[in-house]
A and B are shown apart, each in its own frame.
Chain A
Amino acid sequence: MSRLEIYSPEGLRVDGRRWNELRRLECSINTHANASDGSSYLEQGNNKVITLVTGPQEPKLRSQMNVTKATISVALNITRFSKIERSKSSHKNERRVLEMQTALVRTFEKNVMLHLYPRTQIEIQIHVLQQDGGLMSSLINGITLALIDAGIAMYDYISGVSIGLYDTTPLLDLNSVEENAMSSVTLGVVGKSEKLSLLLVEDKIPLDRMESVLAIGIAGSHRIRELMDKELRKHGERRLANMST
Chain B
Amino acid sequence: MVLSVTEKSYLHESLASVPPARPDGRKADQFRPIEVFTDFLPASNGSSKVVASDGTECLVSVKCKVVDHAVEEDLVVVDVDIAGHRDDSGFVQGIASTLSKVLSTQLDRSCLRLTKKYSFKLYIDVLVLSSFSHPLTLISFAVYSALNSTQLPKLISSDDDLDVAELPTFHDYDFVKLNVSVPLLFTLAICGKNVLVDPASNESDVANNGILVTWNNGKATAPIRTLGLNEDYVSGVSPQSLQDSIKMIEQVAPEVLQALGGI
So, do A and B actually touch in the complex, CB under 8 Å?
A: yes
The residues of A with any CB-CB pair to B shorter than 8 Å are: 32-36, 46, 48, 50, 52, 77, 79-84, 86, 90, 92, 125, 127, 129-130, 132
Interface centre among A35, A36, A127 (most CB of B within 10 A): A35
Contacts of B125 in A (CB 8 A): 79-81, 86
Contacts of A84 in B (CB 8 A): 43
A130 and B127 contact, Cβ closer than 8 Å, known pairs A34-B54, A81-B61: no
A32 and B130 contact, Cβ closer than 8 Å, known pairs A77-B81, A81-B63: yes
Which residues 35-62 of B have a CB within 8 angstroms of A? 40-44, 54-57, 59, 61
A50: contacting residue among B61, B81, B87, B129, CB under 8 A:
B129
B150 to A: closest C-beta gap in Å? 13
A79 and B54 contact, Cβ closer than 8 Å, known pairs A32-B129, A90-B87, A125-B83: no
CA distance A34 to B65 in the complex (A): 36
Q: Given A34-B130, A92-B87, output 4 extra A-B contacts at Cβ < 8 Å.
A: A77-B81, A80-B79, A81-B44, A129-B41
B55–A86 CB distance below 8 A? no
Contacts of B61 in A (CB 8 A): 79, 81, 129
Contacts of B87 in A (CB 8 A): 90, 92
Using CB atoms, name the residue of chain B closest to A80.
B125
Interface flag for B123 (CB, 8 Å): yes
A127–B83 CB distance below 8 A? yes
A130: contacting residue among B43, B54, B55, CB under 8 A:
B43
Contact with A along B124-145 (1 / 0, CB 8 A): 0101011000000000000000
Contact with A along B55-78 (1 / 0, CB 8 A): 111010101010000000000000
A81–B129 CB distance below 8 A? no
B84 to A: closest C-beta gap in Å? 8
B43–A81 CB distance below 8 A? yes
Which residues 148-198 of B have a CB within 8 angstroms of A? none
Contacts of B56 in A (CB 8 A): 35
Contacts of A129 in B (CB 8 A): 41, 59, 61
A35 and B44 contact, Cβ closer than 8 Å, known pairs A81-B63, A81-B123: no
B127–A127 CB distance below 8 A? yes
A34–B55 CB distance below 8 A? yes
A108 to B: closest C-beta gap in Å? 20
Provide 8 A-B residue pairs closer than 8 Å at the C-beta atoms, listed in order of the A residue. A32-B55, A34-B55, A35-B56, A79-B81, A80-B123, A90-B81, A127-B127, A130-B43
CA distance A187 to B61 in the complex (A): 31
Interface centre among A34, A81, A83, A92 (most CB of B within 10 A): A81
A77 and B83 contact, Cβ closer than 8 Å, known pairs A35-B129, A127-B127, A129-B41: yes
Contacts of B63 in A (CB 8 A): 81, 86
Contacts of A35 in B (CB 8 A): 55-57, 129-130
A130–B41 CB distance below 8 A? yes
Using CB atoms, name the residue of chain A closest to B41.
A130
A36 and B81 contact, Cβ closer than 8 Å, known pairs A79-B125, A86-B63: no
A83: contacting residue among B43, B65, B83, CB under 8 A:
B43
CA distance A92 to B130 in the complex (A): 18
Contact with A along B101-130 (1 / 0, CB 8 A): 000000000000000000000010101011
Contacts of A46 in B (CB 8 A): 42-43
CA distance A32 to B79 in the complex (A): 23
Contacts of B44 in A (CB 8 A): 81
Contacts of A48 in B (CB 8 A): 40-41
CA distance A32 to B123 in the complex (A): 26
A80 to B: closest C-beta gap in Å? 6
Contacts of B83 in A (CB 8 A): 77, 125, 127
Using CB atoms, name the residue of chain A closest to B60.
A81
CA distance A32 to B127 in the complex (A): 15
Contacts of B79 in A (CB 8 A): 80
B57–A32 CB distance below 8 A? yes
CA distance A125 to B57 in the complex (A): 14
Using CB atoms, name the residue of chain A closest to B125.
A81
Using CB atoms, name the residue of chain A closest to B52.
A34
CA distance A79 to B63 in the complex (A): 12
Contacts of B59 in A (CB 8 A): 127, 129
For the complex of A and B, 7 pairs with smallest distance between CB atoms? A34-B55, A35-B130, A81-B61, A35-B55, A81-B125, A86-B63, A84-B43
Contacts of A90 in B (CB 8 A): 81, 87
Contacts of A32 in B (CB 8 A): 55, 57, 129-130
Using CB atoms, name the residue of chain A closest to B49.
A129
